[in-house]
Amino acid sequence: MRYAHEVGKVRAAERALMARLPEGTLMQRAAAGLASTCARLLPAVYGARVVLLVGGGDNGGDALHAGARLARRGARVSAVQAGSKIHQEGLAALRAGGGRLLEAEADGAAAIEAADLIIDGLTGIGGTGGLREPHATLAAQASQATGLVVACDVPSGVDAGTGRVEGAAVHADVTVTFGTYKAGLLIDPGASRCGVVELIDIGLGGDLPDPDVVAPWPVDVQPPEPGPESDKYRRGVVGILAGGDEFTGAAVLCTGGAVRGGAGMVRFASAAHPVELVRHRWPEAVTTVIEAGPASGGEILERVGRVQAWVVGPGLGTGEAAESLLEAALATELPVLVDADGLTVLARRRDLLRRQAPTVLTPHAGELSRLVGADREAIEARRLEHVRRAAAELSATVLLKGSTTLVAEQDRPVRANPTGTSRLATAGTGDVLSGLIGALLAGGMAALDAAAAGAYLHGLAARLASSPGSHPSGSPISAGDVITALPDAFRALL
């Protein structure tokens, strides 16, 4: 896992470590790691044109000391000062190594344009809000330059705690971060400004508390694997209540996500027409037709048969019949995933969430706004804050969809999914995700693990489906393409 900590906790760990070390040791460790990474990125250090963008804080000092190390190896290093303050010890070290200081307005633009490598040390992890001048102009010039851009700890203009970007921000090719990841490096839009993130160990480990946000590596995603004694029941039976005469596609796509998601059996129940379509597309599924009439949701669930988890909501409708089915599923002691129309029903029947069994909710920002009574724009602006609040308020595992999907449970680190892609912004992909997570729940995964693993595999499948070998480069993909690519996504983890 990549472990990320809130800025305040990072600062506290730094203070505790610095109290035990000679003055300046921590900055030298950071500068050494930064300089080493930059040296690896350059074809040759000797003669390379390196420009440092430095503000008045410690990140500016890190950049200056790293520049001094590169200058001593023969690089032509220039520092561009932003603002009235500069780290004096770092500047002295740079000059002693042969580097020079430039005026931002007079010489900065030309130096940035000609640079082979640019180190961004304009602001640090404490920076919030939009960049002011001349920082904003320098950030824009660096982002447009042809040289490689390396951000020091966090790209300037990115909120290290949340990933928010307000106005100009540096677009880095590589971000060298120190001690631990910061949440803003893992969550969009900040994550999209970071490029490749390199973590430098500066000795904070023993002073850091439990992480606030984690992002998995492939090895951390471990969906259930069938063993020698497995059969379709041991692998997990998932029940799906989805689709209707109006939204038949949701039924087919959700069932496909479950079938290709490793379920031992899929039991699907809906009106006659979506059942017919599911039978045609997924003959593996065991289907039940829900006839119009007085039967209660509980009676219908009994007819569907034994399952290990329920998926309720995609295309189901929001009327009394749908509410009865959702109420019956949530009255069981089984894991239940609620999506789409099911979330709309829950917005008016939050009392149904008073249960002990695992519940997974998979809203986008608009659906979450109805569930918790918050403004959609506020949720989009502070996704990390709101997904935590929702998990606590709703007593559920909440998967907030977006370019960075976040999965939260109360008193647990938030999971940030690293495989998200804009290719998933197409109708039906959420239905596929619901079926996939339902299959993982039925297979025995804990709710938080199933939701995080489902998001990871879902994003990976979309990336594989849109690769040149599967599709012409740059062509769009559909939800059906994601289903088709799911087996390749599972294989990629092995």
Which residue ranges make up the annotated binding site for (6S)-NADPHX? 58-62, 124-130, 153, 250, 315, 364, 431
By C-alpha distance, which of 211, 217, 178, 171 is closest to 194?
A: 171
Tokens of 282: 């997924």
Residues annotated in a binding site for K(+): 59, 120, 156
Instruction: Give the whole-angstrom CA distance, residue 493 versus residue 219.
Output: 7
Q: Cis (ω within 30 of 0) for the bond into 476?
A: no
Task: Specify burial of residue 226 (Cβ count, 10 A radius: 0-12, 13-18, 19+).
Answer: middle
Find where tokens 């971000």 sit. 175
Phi-psi map region of 478: left, alpha, beta (phi>0 left; psi -120 to 50 alpha): beta
Residues annotated in a binding site: 58-62, 120, 124-130, 153, 156, 250, 315, 364, 401-405, 430-431
Please name the helix (run of DSSP H) or strand (run of DSSP E) that holds residue 95, with its range, or none: helix 88-97
The answer to whether the beta carbons of residues 202 and 26 sit under 8 Å apart is yes
Instruction: Give the whole-angstrom CA distance, residue 437 versus residue 423.
Output: 19
Residues annotated in a binding site for AMP: 401-405, 430
Phi-psi map region of 208: left, alpha, beta (phi>0 left; psi -120 to 50 alpha): beta
The answer to whether the beta carbons of residues 207 and 25 sit under 8 Å apart is no
- Show the DSSP H helices in 360-473 as ranges: 365-372, 376-381, 383-394, 429-442, 447-465
Instruction: Give the whole-angstrom CA distance, residue 196 versus residue 167.
Output: 22
By C-alpha distance, which of 243, 317, 247, 325 is closest to 285?
A: 243
Annotate 286-305 with three-state secondary structure: EEEECCCCCCCHHHHHHHHC
Strands 406-408 and 414-416: antiparallel
